[in-house]
Amino acid sequence: MNAPFKALAKLRPSRREMIVVSAAAAGGALLVGCSPADILSIGADNKHFGPFGPFLRIDADGTVTVVSKHIEFGQGSHASLAAMVAEELDADWDKLKVAQAGANAKVYANLDQGAQGTGGSSAIHNSWDQLRKVGAATRAMFVTAAADRWKVHANEISVANGVVAHPSGQSATFADLVANAAKVKPPGSPKLKDPKAYTLIGTNRVRRKDSLAKATGTARFTQDVHLPNMLTAMVAHSPRFGGKVKSFDADAAKKIPGVVDVFKIPSGVAVTAQNTFAARQGRDALKVEWDDDKAETRGSDAILAAYHDLASGKTAATDKLKWQPFDSHGVGVAPGAGKVVEVAYDFPFLAHAPMEPMNCVAEIGGGKNKLTSGSQIPTLDQLNTGMIVGALPGSVEIETLFAGGSFGRRANFQSDYAAECVHIAKHVGGGRPVKLVWTREDDMTGGYYRPMVHHAVRVTLGADGYPAHWRHRIVSQSVMKGSPMPSKGVDESAVEGVSGSPYLKATPVVDAQAILPDSPIPVLWWRSVGATHTAFVMEHTIDQLARAAGKDPIDYRRALYTKAGADRHLVALSLALEKAGLNPAPGYTRGVAAHESFGSVVVQIAEVKLDGGVPKVGRVVTAIDCGTAISPDQVAAQMEGGTCFGLSAALFGQITLKDGVVDQKNFDAYRVLRMNEAPHVETYIVPSGAHPSGVGEPGTPVIAPAVANAILAITGKPTTSLPFVKA
Amino acid sequence: MAATLDINGKPVTVQAAPETPLLWVLRDELGLTGTKYGCGIAQCGACTVHANGTAIRSCQAPIGSLAGVKITTIEGLEGRHPVQAAWVKLDVPQCGYCQSGQIMSATALLAKTPKPSDGDIDAAMSGNICRCGAYQRIRAAIKDAAGVVAA
Ligand code: FES
Ligand code: FES
């Protein structure tokens, strides 16, 4: 699972990038024997960390600040990361603060990924050991300082809520001791607490630190940055992906009061202005002619038809475009094979449409290379900026702010919008700040979509009614293609969730293959990545198989989980069933689905009714096994939010194209879930002491198949394409 | 062109053309950045402010139409509104970008309907998109602030 982000660990700058970086670093000498993080942090300033290291500051007044290497864009990770330090440090949680780290590929590397970045629901998972050790080591430094001062044994000293105490009655605050503690040599391998001794982790005291700022409008987002002498920029992009500027006429744009300049950049025509409204008017007044020679000019219907032809074999594979097996085990068909269930599914392109459209602030030139933005993968933003301006990646400064959502959109190999801003700021020069603002229309038509996907499944049941032979074909664009960390073999992000499925494990003969055709339409991971479609296909197919076999879908799942040794699925399913109770609300029908992603197993029981053919979702009982839950309240928040995100796409989400031009430009046409359509999600956490796994994404993919299964129970008809509600 | 507006109880004079949307005057001219841009076409509610106590979308309100109208932004609540306290108590925000708009819609609702039903909440809040899907907590926090028991 979590394949694409795990692949960041294999991040290797391309040859061209390597040459640029090494030429700048060592006058052309090749850098041998360095890790990617070493290379990408060349030029970084590592000298400014205090006595407690890069993750923790304790001021003279005792204020404890945990420095987060991960961005906060909704998932509550700042609070849970801080809680890991606070628990082991025995700091006063209520007074503790969180600060955002700058960019440093080595010091702040995501330990699952080898470079700095937030994604793949890994923030908590990769920091768990690292940050607990920071807290424990610092605690030991305070204890040693107190023992020296009081001339007592260190093991007689206790710490609670930022107060160090000895049974003799002596006590001191962190403020009293910090100057001395700072001089103590940190222990190499500090002892971590027994989880039974936790007073913070796993309790509902672990609450967000940013709610007040976000409830008063004072939280600072990129959109809010206003620097002296700053220009605001907008860019006219090609209406077709892959289109290029042929010519442009800037006369009318330049007449708009407040417009400063109009010029060409690689991604289009940029307008700089004194403020946002002038930039917008200037951009609207531009006349641009586009060269569509290399552009995608097909509509989404034609692309889908081409996918169908590939899946059916009507279009033959070629040397360049091959079927790639990703799970094949067993041979032939099990004896006594009977009923065949054949079903195909279509999934549309999806936009992430985070609430804050893409934007970035850059200051380039005059000795400065700085970005201010909601940077999701600072290391890539540094690399791409360094490439454009000819600077060492590590020397590119990034001030990461809160971002108004991302859902994957802010993490792409090209750093598309950040790079665009850097090009503009480089043209402006002199270190003058430029804020690039994308309108909602720019954001929605700007690509980097969840790919359109087609699945074709044929399952032959054995005499016992369980799958004996499973044939699976997937057609999708590849997210990983053209990345600096190309996957060996099939792009796991396109097939994860089919690959690794307990149902396939329990099937004697499996033949699963994928084919990944190209298009200029940029595609990207979208909250829960492959699971956005694979969970639907597997979970909805299972209900259809159970029906064909004349079995109850829950019993059917249990039998297959047992066969596959999927114990965590069994436990989570039982928990969900127990909490759901016997009957749905009057008028509602239940559908069940389960899926493992990012190391967590989520089971949902959705209560659904059809209202004029439109599904209405009421209560959703959720059970999750995410290992140790640091903040049960934020796990619940992510299940609530993730479910809404998944349901929004399932009900309404689709990006379509006509002759290569995106039809949906704003929220009027790209309908999203609103208050009156939101379900009520109950969250129950499987008790666990295991290493924490993801929660930001695993809540998203399960609701759509749960709803489809409820509809199947109501109407007897499977759902073979999403969204449920076609425009 | 100069225009005089009444923002958060104070008269302010800005240099902007009458067709300029209030949203951009608030954000770019007055530095009141709590009010957000999300769509520009009155679809998302991120830009919600009060005009004489009624929730309006500032992205679609040209300043030329606002002479003599009392505008209140999220900053004008001064962090003292019970709705804001409920938002913090229940940890409503996720990314937080929509929340100024949500709070301005919620406070306008409670000013007119102190004990809202679920239907009242749906009607008042369905113009405010939250892509993070914090709807359940928004509903709960409105009820908490109103002192009505959650269903
Ligand atoms: S920005 Fe005004 S409603 Fe969306
Ligand atoms: S909290 Fe992120 S959009 Fe509402």
Torsion angle (degrees, nearest 10) of CA A20, A25, A28, A30: -90
Mean pLDDT over A232-236 rounds to: 98
Predicted local confidence at residue A485, as pLDDT: 60
Choose one of A418, A445, A472: the last residue of a domain: A445
Among A106-115, A278-287, A290-299, A314-323, the least confident range:
A106-115
Among the bound ligands, the one closest to the CA of A675: 2
Residue A5 has pLDDT above 70, yes or no: no
CA angle (A667, A673, A677) in 5-degree steps: 135
Q: How confident is the model at residue A43, as a pLDDT?
A: 80
Ligand 1 geometric centre to CA of A664 (Å): 17
Q: Which residues of B fall within a CB distance of 8 Å from A353?
A: 131
Mark yes or no for CB contact B94/A217 under 8 Å: no
Q: Do A216 and B35 touch (CB under 8 A)?
A: no
Give domain status of residue A434, yes or no.
Answer: yes
* Contact call for B40 and A439, based on CB within 8 A: yes
Residue A396 has pLDDT above 50, yes or no: yes
Predicted confidence band of residue A113 (pLDDT cuts 50, 70, 90): confident
For residue B125, list chain A residues with Cβ-Cβ distance below 8 A: 675
- The pLDDT, as a whole number, for residue A333 is 64
Of the candidates A136, A122, A157, A121, the one whose C-alpha atom is nearest the C-alpha of residue A84 is A136
CB-nearest to B39 from A223, A666, A680 is A666
Inform me whether the pLDDT recorded for A128 exceeds 60: yes
Q: Which residues of B touch A666 (CB under 8 A)?
A: 39-41, 43
Mean pLDDT across chain A, nearest whole number? 93
pLDDT of residue A337: 63
CA of A165 to the centre of ligand 1 (A): 54
For residues A435 and A503, state if they share a domain. no
The total number of structural domains in chain A stands at 3
What are the pocket residues of ligand 1 if the criterion is a CB atom closer than 6 Å to any ligand atom? B 37-40, 42-47, 57, 59
Å between B90 CA and nearest CA of chain A: 9
pLDDT digit string, tens, across residues A251-274: 999 999 999 999 999 999 999 999
**Same domain assignment for residues A513 and A537:** yes
What would the mean pLDDT of A117-132 be, rounded to a whole number?
A: 93
What does the pLDDT read at residue A489?
79
- Site of tokens 């759901």: A580
In contact, A132 and A84? CB cutoff 8 Å = yes
- A318 located within any domain: no
List, in sequence order, the alpha helices (H) in A256-377: 276-285, 300-312
Same domain, A398 and A497: no
| Contact in structure between A85 and A66 (CB atoms under 8 Å) | yes
Per-residue pLDDT of A279-288, as tens digits, reads 999 999 999 9
pLDDT 10s digits, A696-723: 999 999 999 999 999 999 999 999 999 9
Q: pTM of this prediction? A: 0.95
pLDDT band at A336, cuts 50/70/90? low
Q: Please give, rounded to a whole number of angstroms, the shortest distance from the CA of A439 to a CA of chain B.
A: 7
* Size of the A and B interface in Cβ pairs below 8 Å: 178
User: Coil, strand, or helix at residue A671?
Assistant: coil
Q: Specify if A186 maps to a domain.
A: yes
Mean pLDDT of A115-135: 93
Cβ A537 vs Cβ A464: under 8 Å: no
Q: How far apart are CA A549 and CA B3, in angstroms?
A: 73
Whether A11 has a pLDDT exceeding 60, the answer reads no
From A412, A445, A478, the end of a domain falls on: A445
Minimal CA separation from B121 to chain A, in Å:
8
How many helical (H) and strand (E) elements, i.e. helices and strands, does chain B have?
5, 5
The reply to whether residue B92 touches residue A211, judged by beta carbons under 8 angstroms, is yes
Q: What is the mean pLDDT of residues A232-246?
A: 98
DSSP reduced 3-state for B15: strand
Looking at the structure, do residues A109 and A238 belong to the same domain, yes or no?
Answer: no
pLDDT digits (tens, 9 = 90+) for A20-60: 454 444 333 344 455 667 778 888 877 779 999 999 999 99
Task: Examine the domain organization and report whether A132 and A230 are in the same domain.
Answer: no
Dist. CA A451–CA A463, nearest whole Å: 37
Could you identify the atom of ligand 2 that is nearest to the CA of residue A404?
Answer: 2
- State the Cα–Cα distance between residues A633 and A685, nearest whole angstrom: 10
Query: What pLDDT was estimated at residue A45?
Result: 76
Residue A269 domain boundaries: 223-293+353-445
CA distance B21 to B58: 7
**Is A489 found in the same domain as A476?**
yes
Q: Does the CB atom of residue B130 touch ligand 2 within 6 A?
A: yes
Is A546 in the same domain as A436?
no
CA distance B42 to chain A (A): 9
- Mutate which of B44, B98, B137 to test ligand 2's pocket (most atoms within 8 Å of Cβ)? B98
Residue B97 CB less than 6 A away from ligand 2? yes
| CATH code, A571 | 3.30.365.10
pLDDT of B42 > 70? The answer is yes
Give the DSSP H/E element, type plus range, for residue A159: strand A158-160
User: What pLDDT does residue A44 have?
Assistant: 83
State the pLDDT at residue B118.
97
Say yes or no to pLDDT of A7 above 60. no
d(CA A597, CA A529): 9
* Residue A431 to residue A422: CA distance in whole angstroms: 11
Supply A521's token pair. Answer: 């339409």
| pLDDT at residue A624, rounded to an integer | 98
pLDDT at A3 over 90: no
A12 pLDDT tier (thresholds 50, 70, 90): very low
Mean pLDDT for the stretch of residues B22-48: 98
Give the confidence band of A96 by pLDDT, cuts at 50, 70, 90: very high
**A210, A355, A409, A410: which to mutate for ligand 2, most atoms within 8 A of CB?**
A355
Q: Label residue A35 exposed, middle or buried (CB < 10 Å: 0-12, 13-18, 19+).
A: middle
